[in-house]
Chain A
Amino acid sequence: MIRRAFAWMILLALFAPAHRAFGETIELRVKDIAQFATISPDAPRHGWVGYNYGDGTFGTTRLDVSSRTSVLVQYDLSVIPDNMRITNAQWALPIQHSSSSQVQLYTWRILAPWGPGACHAYRTTLPKPAPWRQPGARAMGVDRTIRPTVVVKVGEETDELALNVTRDVEYWHSGLQPNRGWILTVEQNDAVVSLESPMYIGIEDWILRITYEPR
């Protein structure tokens, strides 16, 4: 432990000034996800409704984003030093498949605070259940933003997305808005975008790349 700390101290002492001077690009991965939920009215108290078998059972080995299932993700951004300006932020998501060639995947900023126990019915259940304004975090302007951050078309051949979320990360890092993460939705009925699960084989492929430089 002491040797490890010593090694990090030496390396940080060597490289940290350069980072501060010129900025850098960092990658936030699954381990940096501070809050996560995948929610559906089909299991209103559960926070891990990745996909629905249709018989009252659900899986987490992939995440279906549809008009009935949404994914909520908040990254811990505290690793970005103060007084930095975000110049680029790309959120890479691994796609397993899309139900058609023109499914639109929406990314919205979440406005309402949420936390442990988050599910379709509640934004948190600790210390006591607190409901979303509209179940599923669907109330625009209260639970989530009025306008989506980005809307992308996902085709049947798409295997990875890179969502441009630069403005959101800059909002959060500058303190203009509290970081409450994003919600991914599909608004069209009977359309599905399936993501590789960050709990399973997608664990290495969920990456938020952020480039920053001194203000």
Chain B
Amino acid sequence: MTRQTLLITLGLSALLAAKLPAGEMQSPPDWVTTIAAPGATCSAVSAPGRLSFFGGHDDQGGYLLLQPLDAKGIPTGDAQRMREPFVGAARRPLDVRAHPSKPLLYVWRDRLPDSDAPQEPFAHLLVYRITNSALQEAGAFATGAAFASGKHTGMMTLDLPHDRLFIPNALIQDAKGEWTPAIACVDLDANGLPKTRDDGDLAMRSSPLGRLAAPLGWPFGVVGATRDVVMFGANRGFGVWEWAEPEARLNMLTLNWARQECMMIGHPDESLVYLVANGWRYLYVMRHVDGYMTMMPRIVPLQQWGAMSQPQVIASRNTLAVGAFNGVYLVPLDDGGQPTGESHRLHVAAERVVTLAYNETFDRLYIPVEQSP
């Protein structure tokens, strides 16, 4: 063997070894907490209230799991399973969001899809005050024909600076008087409660979604770029809602014809949004200027399984987390928020991880699993 052949062989061998897929992570980093919440489909963490919340539907019906946390955000004491809000027409929590600076929890509840449960009207939006690791109802909102029922999914988002709440599955009447899907938000008062009109209904701002509404629900994560422009995950792509336009102009940008639920989140410090589609094996990283997408997106393949949850940005650790089959992808980011090209898959004891909660105060990622480790 000549010296040159030997060097080529050595070089190629080292290159091939370096190209082997990154190994799976069997044990979580110390900033990850798993909480037993079988079948959880939504989650939130309240630092002011020292509680984590996981909502879902199991063989006994809809539930909301309340897990007390200590001052560092680590679970302490016994969890409580709350079922009372889900025994009537509304059978499960569709989404939960915690106010970042107030001890408040927003719960969006819904009928089960295709259920034959009673059709009597119910309030979709419940707001709770958190006191001593318990929930006290502060208000019930969003009743009536302006909210679609029996949806599979749909997300709430608290926009910075936490004075407006985007709500899922809203409807708006078109010129013919027919109800059509809409992107909608409500302003919050100084106490964090939704503002209402004189008749008690939510004081909503909304715009028709048209083809941006997926059959299963809408929207899938809202990112406020400015006070005038918001972006949101939608059917087969995402939308841009320009508040300042006279007619609240709405634009849709399709990314993939086959994937309906495109879930989006923004980077807290960079003008970047991250988007995955349910079941799709690619992560889109898109740069925007004031909410308008610009330049080429980076398209990062995930390892083996498609994404299943809205991504979470853990900026302090330059990491993006995405729920998946049997685990969570942890995608390293550089200082500018761009993926470095690697991705790791943290194995967890859950068949499908469809929700993740990251809390900035605790700097901790919470993952629902089937049973306690």
Q: A interface vs B, CB < 8 Å?
A: 1, 3-4, 6-8, 10-11, 13-14, 30, 33, 35-37, 43, 45-48, 50, 53, 55-61, 116-119, 125-126, 198-200, 203
Contact = CB atoms under 8 A, between A and B. Distances in A.
Interface in B250-302: 250-257, 287, 289-290, 292-297, 299
A53 B294 contact: no
B283 to A, nearest CB: 13
Contacts of A3: 14, 17-18
B11 interface: yes
A33 B287 CA distance: 14
A125 B290 CA distance: 9
Interface of B: 4, 7-8, 10-15, 17-19, 210-212, 237, 239-240, 242, 249-257, 287, 289-290, 292-297, 299
Contact of B254 (A43, A47, A61, A118): A61
A62 B355 CA distance: 32
A14 B251 contact: no
A30 B17 CA distance: 26
Contacts of B289: 116-117, 125-126
B295 A198 contact: no
B15 A61 contact: no
A11 B15 contact: yes
B292 A117 contact: yes
5 contacts: A3-B14, A7-B10, A8-B11, A47-B292, A59-B252
Contact of A57 (B13, B19, B211): B211
Nearest to A1: B18
Contacts of B292: 45-47, 117, 119, 125
Contact of B212 (A13, A33, A50, A57): A57
Contacts of A119: 292, 294
Nearest to B342: A1
A122 to B, nearest CB: 9
Contacts of B251: 43, 46, 56-58
A199 B282 CA distance: 12
A56 B250 contact: yes
Contact of A8 (B7, B15, B252, B253): B15
A116 B14 contact: no
A43 B229 CA distance: 14
A58 B252 contact: yes
A10 B210 contact: no
Given A37-B295, A57-B210, A14 B7 contact: yes
A4 B18 contact: yes
A106 B50 CA distance: 62
**Smallest CB-CB A-B distances: 4 pairs:** A10-B11, A4-B18, A57-B252, A7-B14
Nearest to B254: A59
A62 B50 CA distance: 48
A118 B252 CA distance: 18
B215 to A, nearest CB: 17
B324 to A, nearest CB: 22
A132 to B, nearest CB: 15
